[in-house]
Amino acid sequence: MAETSNLLSNKRIAKNSIFLSIRMVVVLCITLYTSRVVLHALGVEDYGVFNVVGGFVSMFAFLNTSMSNGIQRFFNFELGKNGEEGANKVYKSALLIQLILGVVIIILTESFGIWYLHNKMVIPEERMYAAEWVFQISIIQFLVIIMQVPYTAAVMAHEKMDFYAIVSILDAVLKLALVLILPHVGFDKLIIWGLFGLLIHIFDFSIYFFYCKKKFNEIRLSRTSIKIEKPLFGSMLGFSGWNVFGSFSNMMRDQGINLIINLFFGPVVNAARGIAVQVNSAISGLVSSILTPVRPQVIQSYAKGDIDRSMRLTFSISKLGLCFLLLLALPVCVEIDFILNLWLGGVVPKHTQAFCIIILITSAALIPMGALATLVHASGKMLKYQLIGSMVKFVSVPIAYVMLKLGYAVEWAFIMVLLFDAIGLVVGMFIIKTLMPFSIRSYFRYVVIPIIPVLFISLLVDWIMHSFLSNEIIRVLAVFILGSLILLALVYFIAMTKDEKKLINGMVVNFIKRKRK
């Protein structure tokens, strides 16, 4: 019975991965073109202003990320353990938590944020008026995102990845439609682009709200059941409170570095960093199409006491996530000059190539870190993992500041982030070992070591094709197509275990059978 249930769950994971992969391919193509049009419409300087001002507001997203991770975890846990009744209690507590968070965000941004905008940000005086508008619009947009969290968590907990994929594609199509209007707008384009973003987020929230109200019985409030479960509310706050440390370190890794770069180099280099982050976000988003569908299963299996399955799933998604990252990132790194010039139409800010490569390498540490963090979330034992891990990540920001102050190149700021994220991954493994029966040796044996020969052989093959093929079009096609096929073959024959090969073979056979029907 348990094997049948796990088989059905694995098939659901595979189906959801396909939905999310399709979503990310479509969203990636649209986003890349959208970014190009925005860069040309706004200009490098205004694009940098938008990145640093909007990024400053989203810096406070670490609070929302902490709370949303907690809400997601409790939705998954309660659905696995107590069903709809338990999930309804989570929903009511989640609404209250997000309302409180919204008030905190308004106080922080309208006080400290306004002061920092006028006194510390390096923004041309003639663009300060537009920057103030973007700042206020970003705050409202962020509040909408905060209130959407309980509904997104419900969709994820119920594993409705097809709905999630459709909404994401609609979001990208709307952005494309609006960005095509942007060059023809007579008013300040920076302000208008900020308003367009707000309208899209309101649209997303409305769809999630009405879908969840219709589909999920636990998404309900009544006059007789408005009472908040204090023990659950306290547990969610406690879990999220320790999670704040992890999200705070992520914020410092991203927006902290962004602000430091602005302090030393101004908005033009912020534009380069913004483009690099978009490239990384596109590739990381595709990788997340593998990781996201597995997360609910890891937590629900743990809630049911099936810790062994949680471990197996964690090992598999760590490996598959890294392999998928290699598949996408290796050819991009090798052909980064060609890709950026093609994408941005020759308007490539200085340092963008180096930023892209370093940030993509950093993602190689973040993927297994995310998979392992799901195990910790499932256990609920957050204190040690988040506290120590966050301290390690946090160190990268002041060290980056000191290095830039001493006159080092801006790339060293990103190298420090890479170094301390890698250290944080190793430290995290030792902490997890103290929380549950986790074997670091087994993790390296089944996840890390099989990927090393795949990485080096694939990199060598791509480098040879890049160096010795003179025709640009043939070279790029060879690196992306032939290089990817070779990497997939290496992953299958070197990196995968017998069970993983069996699962892949079964998925391929089922796909062929459906096509024949």
Contact indicator for 86, 312 with CB cutoff of 8 Å: no
Neighbouring CB atoms inside 10 A of 141's CB total 22
pLDDT given for residue 238 in this prediction? 67
Residue 32 to residue 182: CA distance in whole angstroms: 16
Whole-angstrom Cα distance, residue 393 to residue 421?
6
Predicted local confidence at residue 21, as pLDDT: 62
SS3 assignment, position 294:
coil
Helix/strand/coil (H/E/C) assignment for every residue in 465-485: HHHHCCCHHHHHHHHHHHHHH
Q: At what angle do helices 161-181 and 189-215 cross, to 10 degrees?
A: 160
How would DSSP label each residue in 407-463? T--THHHHHHHHHHHHHHHHHHHHHHHHHSS--HHHHIIIIIHHHHHHHHHHHHHHH
Instruction: Enter the tokens of residue 208.
Output: 């999630």
> Can you give the pLDDT at residue 69?
67
Name the residue with tokens 């193509």. Answer: 29
Q: pLDDT tens per residue, the chain (517 residues)? A: 444 444 445 555 656 556 666 666 677 677 767 777 777 777 777 877 777 777 666 666 556 666 666 777 777 777 767 777 777 888 888 888 888 878 888 888 888 878 877 887 777 788 888 888 888 888 888 888 888 888 888 887 777 877 887 888 888 888 888 888 887 777 788 888 888 888 988 999 999 999 988 888 877 776 545 566 677 777 776 666 666 666 666 766 777 777 788 778 777 777 788 778 777 776 776 666 666 667 777 777 777 777 788 888 888 888 888 888 888 888 888 888 888 888 777 677 788 888 888 888 888 877 888 778 777 777 777 777 777 877 887 788 888 889 888 888 888 888 888 898 888 888 888 888 888 788 888 888 888 898 999 999 999 999 999 988 888 888 989 998 898 899 889 988 888 887 777 766 665 665 565 555 5
Contact between 80 and 300 under an 8 Å Cβ cutoff? The reply is: yes
**For 46, which DSSP code?**
H
Whole-number Cα distances in Å, 463 to 3, 66, 226, 498: 44, 41, 62, 31
- Rounded Cα distance between 74 and 80, Å, is 10
Which pair of tokens denotes residue 36? Answer: 């190009």
User: Token pair of 478, please?
Assistant: 């060879």
Q: Phi first, then psi: give them for residue 363, nearest 5 degrees.
A: -60, -25
Residue 141 C-beta-side C-alpha neighbours within 13 Å: 20
514 burial (CB, 10 Å; 0-12 / 13-18 / 19+) is: exposed
Which pLDDT belongs to residue 3? 46
pLDDT score at 2:
45
| Separation between Cα atoms, residue 512 and residue 471, nearest integer Å | 37
Cα 137 to its chain centre, rounded Å, is: 23
Residue type, 393: K
> 């301390």: which residue's tokens?
420
* Residue-range domain boundaries for the chain: 2-219+228-438, 444-517
Q: Rounded to 5 degrees, what angle do the CA atoms 356, 362, 363 make?
A: 90
Distance CA 19, CA 298 (A): 19
Contact 431, 384 (CB under 8 A): yes
Nearest 10 degrees: Cα torsion 40, 43, 48, 51: -40
Check residue 8 and give its pLDDT. Answer: 45
| pTM recorded for the entire structure | 0.66
